[in-house]
Amino acid sequence: MYNPSDVGKKGSLFGLPYSQQEADLVILPVNLDVTTSYRDGSSMSPQLIVDESSQLDLSLPGVVDPWKLKIALGEELIDKDVNDAFRQKAKKVIEILESGGQPSSPDINEVNSFCQKVQTMIEEKCDDLFDKGKLIGVLGGDHSSSLGLIRSLSKRENFGILQLDAHMDLRNAYERFEYSHASIMYNALKLDGVLSLTQVGIRDYCEEEEKYIQDSSKKINVFYDEQVFENSLRGKTWLEQTQEIIQTLPDNLYISFDIDGLDPALCPATGTPVPGGLKFNEVVFLLNQVVKSGKKIVGFDLCEVGNAVWDANVGARILYRLASVLGVSQNLLVLK
């Protein structure tokens, strides 16, 4: 009886009628921004995205009935008040570091212990959902929100990561936090199931991360935002550049989307905005080309969306596109 042209139901992800039990794809909201190093607020973005998502129109060019992919929202795993309490502890550590001081080990250890418990909880939840035959996407929260999903997935199959981001996130325990949002890819690459990393949109990084790439035993490919722009000025099309990106990807692929990979005009309230970045339609084109190349998307995350209505509107549209390309790659949706 569902009519995809009717008014979307508020409080339901994309206004869709599917329950978690019948869903093909479960989106796990992770209300986490404890280790954010600049602006907080991303812990509130999952609910904002859900609120905004119901006003989306659900047809997409090139995909037959994308709304037939059964998408449902999972339960919240982190209490907002608990997140906020540990966020204040982390802020204290960060403020001491930024003033040139040395924070106390108990404060650091307390934050690290909490974040470790959160990742274990997310991993166990994903284990349970995978055992039930579900596909999973994580909706953060800061970028560390996705590590539990990547851990769970890496126990089941081997895959590469396509990371759309302004930052490399390859720091070892940034600001003393082992599960920092700036350490997500450093932690992910420790996992045996993660074969490679391809980064697109990078424009803010440090010497430690450059050295990590040089010394890494795993294949890491970086498509710097400045170089992509310069290539376009010299006549290389975005199609040609996306083909080069795709050539670095293995058959099984996890997509990690930090929204600050976009032009900050599309995400001004994100935690660490950086000038430059990808346009919305450039991202859509890249995702579509990845699927058309035959890659299988095994999971994804969308993180770092800011606590603002415009950012949530854009985030909801990115989330819907990620779900749709996963659906096509898993043969749950078909191309026109």
Q: Which pLDDT belongs to residue 104? A: 87
Asked if 144 and 173 count as a contact pair (C-beta separation under 8 A), the reply is no
Q: Which pLDDT belongs to residue 166? A: 98
Q: What is the spatial distance between Cα 37 and Cα 144, in angstroms, rounded to a whole number?
A: 12
Q: Which pLDDT belongs to residue 201? A: 98
- Exposed (0-12), middle (13-18) or buried (19+): which is 233, by Cβ within 10 Å? exposed
Q: Provide the residue ranges of all domains of the chain, joining segments of one domain with +.
A: 13-329
* Residue 37 three-state SS: coil
Task: Quick: pLDDT tens for 190-233.
Answer: 999 999 999 999 999 999 999 999 999 999 999 999 999 999 99
First to last CA, the chain: 24
- Is there a cis peptide before residue 141, judged by omega within 30 degrees of 0? yes
Location of structure tokens 């274990």? 120
Domain 13-329 classified CATH 3.40.800.10?
A: yes
Task: Quick: pLDDT tens for 22-66.
Answer: 999 999 999 999 999 999 999 999 999 999 999 999 999 999 999
Task: Quick: pLDDT tens for 239-262.
Answer: 999 999 999 999 999 999 999 999
- Whether residue 11 is predicted with pLDDT greater than 90 in this model: the reply is no
Q: What is the spatial distance between Cα 146 and Cα 322, in angstroms, rounded to a whole number?
A: 15
Q: What is the spatial distance between Cα 139 and Cα 231, in angstroms, rounded to a whole number?
A: 32
Task: Quick: pLDDT tens for 58-116.
Answer: 999 999 999 999 999 999 989 999 999 999 999 999 999 999 999 989 989 999 999 99
Q: Which pLDDT belongs to residue 10? A: 85
Q: Which pLDDT belongs to residue 302? A: 98
Q: Which pLDDT belongs to residue 9? A: 81
Q: Which of 97, 76, 75, 79 is nearest to 87 (CA)?
A: 79
Which residues in the chain belong to E strands, given as ranges? 25-30, 71-73, 135-140, 159-164, 194-202, 219-224, 252-258, 296-303
Q: What is the spatial distance between Cα 209 and Cα 214, in angstroms, rounded to a whole number?
A: 9
Under DSSP, the state recorded for 331 is: T
Tell me the pTM.
0.97
- Whether residue 286 is predicted with pLDDT greater than 90 in this model: the reply is yes
Asked if 168 and 331 count as a contact pair (C-beta separation under 8 A), the reply is no
Q: Which residues contact 328 (CB under 8 A, 6 or more apart)?
A: 63, 291, 334, 335
- Whether residue 284 is predicted with pLDDT greater than 90 in this model: the reply is yes
Task: Quick: pLDDT tens for 124-182.
Answer: 999 999 999 999 999 999 999 999 999 999 999 999 999 999 999 999 999 999 999 99
pLDDT confidence bin for 2, thresholds 50/70/90:
confident
